[in-house]
Amino acid sequence: MATRKIAILAEGALGWHAAKTAVGVIRYAPDTTVAVIDSTHTGMDVAEALQGPVGEGIPVVRDITEALTYQPDTLLIGIAPRGGALPESWRWQLLAAIEHGLNIVSGLHAFVSDDEELRTAAARKGVTIWDVRRPPARTRVADFTPHREGSHTVLLVGSDCGSGKMSTALDLNAEAQRRGLSSAFIATGQTGMMIANNGLPVDRLIIDFAAGLVEEQVLNFSHAHDWVFVEGQGALNHPGYSPVTLSLLHGSMPDALIFCHKAGQTAIDGYEQCLFPSLNRLIEINEEAVNWLRPERRSKVVGISLITNHLDEPHAREAVEQMMNETGLPVTDPLRFGVAPLMDALERHFAG
């Protein structure tokens, strides 16, 4: 697939968490991000707006009119407003983009191509609207088919949403390829799909078929590759999103897991009354959920990916050391310290 020149719409929300789609696309997509639209950070570059190491040199602009001066061919919606609908205040920007021949990529729960005005405008200009979250028409119930012998399926799980599951899976896939291994990444959410141009919008699948469609993807990828890194979603301990996590655990039937966590977090974001048990217990419940189905071949968490970008470097290193002491597992912040310790742990696990 040809690479795109993308303008990302992140109006009013260009931050690590609120604009995680924008951040993910900038960090990992093979496409070129030429500008980010956010009138509250106009005049900065993305790295300045994020106060971090991502997006240096990419300008933040006021609106689509200014973004067009950088000659994008695609407008990508890089944030997810509460409720998943298209804010009316954004409509003119999408219409202007379409009028100038830009394709639209959207991960919203509300499908842009179902909007009559936008669909008609796109048809008139001959541009495409990709609603990434639109689920496939096919259905499939999981049938518990074993993976190809010799292949290694690794699922990313975590303590909460936004705990680094997608980015760690992408980093591990890149590290495996650097080591000369045959590996692939399976996207299970809209951002990963925008980056990889493959995968499933698991949070839009009918629950009876979610595990089966994930299983189908994993079987296809594990037939072609020795290592398969499956992007995780949600968390088993999340009061709202645990079903999608369980579907991924049972659909992918991983041979190993990597656990993801934000240093210092003690409760589900937005559910402050929903406190975490110990990290060891969180790890244990994810292992148990896989091994309900396959007790004779136990899957385990072999390493921890830790988000520390809210800490200075000495405190980040202290958090990594503390987590290693608490769990007895290799720990790293892939963004800050690299993902090699996790790949080392996976290779040791499968060699043993």
Per-residue pLDDT tens over the stretch 242-295: 999 999 999 999 999 999 999 999 999 999 999 999 999 999 999 999 999 988
Q: Which two tokens stand for residue 244?
A: 């999608």
> Which stretch of 50-64, 73-87, 156-170 has the lowest confidence by average pLDDT?
73-87
What value does the mean pLDDT take over residues 310-329? 97
Contact 225, 218 (CB under 8 A): no
pLDDT at 82 over 90: no
Q: To the nearest whole number, what is the mean pLDDT of the chain?
A: 96
Phi and psi at 172, nearest 5°, equal -65, -40
The amino acid at 66: E
pLDDT at 1 over 90: no
Per-residue pLDDT tens over the stretch 13-37: 999 888 989 999 999 999 999 999 9
Domain covering 5-131, topology: Rossmann fold (3.40.50)
- Compute the residue count for the chain: 352
CATH 3.40.50.150 fits 152-351, yes or no: no
Residues of the chain with CATH 3.40.50.300: 152-351
pLDDT at 170 over 60: yes
Per-residue pLDDT tens over the stretch 94-133: 999 999 999 999 999 999 999 999 999 999 999 999 999 9
Percent of the chain, pLDDT > 70?
99
User: Which residues neighbour 189 within 8 Å (Cβ) at sequence distance 6 or greater?
Assistant: 166, 199, 201, 202, 203, 231, 233
Rounded Cα–Cα distance for residues 105 and 78 (Å): 9
Residues of the chain with CATH 3.40.50.720: 5-131
